[in-house]
């Protein structure tokens, strides 16, 4: 359902509520790889608002998002940080505090240490 048009903010609010960002002991929040079902470029105001709120509370959020590079016309399944940044700066779409997945497969995902992690078929 989260990939259906109109469900983006419902999904975001659900993740925010489940994250319990008011907990003072919690410094790091981790959301799933496909938590934000939108292109990063399309929701900059929401990401900046979430990041500012987290930064005020001295928290960092790692979340998956779809990144689109306008220059190279490439899409990336990325992990970004919102809130407290390693550099001390605010979140930005140009932030280097991100990871671009290097193994994109159209049907399945690469599983490191597959012979140990997947049960025998």
Q: What is the pLDDT along the chain (121 residues), one digit of tens a residue?
A: 777 878 888 888 899 888 876 777 888 999 988 889 899 999 999 999 999 999 988 899 999 999 988 899 988 889 999 998 777 777 777 777 788 887 655 445 555 566 666 665 4
What's the pLDDT at 13? 87
What's the pLDDT at 34? 81
> Which residue carries 């001390």 as its tokens?
88
Return the bridge partners of 60, or none: 28, 83
What's the pLDDT at 47? 93
Q: If DSSP codes are grouped into helix, strand and coil, which group holds residue 62?
A: strand
What's the pLDDT at 119? 61
pTM of the entire predicted model? 0.75
Q: Which CATH architecture has domain 8-117?
A: 4-Layer Sandwich (3.60)
């Amino acid at each position: 359902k989260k990939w259906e048009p109109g469900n983006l903010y419902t999904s975001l609010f659900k993740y925010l509520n489940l994250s319990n960002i008011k907990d003072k002991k919690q410094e790091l929040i981790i959301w799933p790889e496909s938590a934000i079902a939108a292109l990063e470029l399309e929701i900059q105001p929401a990401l900046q608002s979430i990041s500012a709120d987290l930064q005020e509370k001295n928290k960092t959020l790692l979340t998956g998002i779809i990144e689109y590079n306008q220059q190279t016309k490439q899409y990336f399944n990325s992990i970004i940080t919102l809130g407290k940044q390693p550099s001390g700066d605010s979140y930005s779409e140009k932030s280097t505090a991100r990871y671009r997945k290097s193994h994109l497969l159209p049907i399945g995902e690469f599983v490191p240490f597959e012979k140990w992690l997947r049960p025998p078929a």
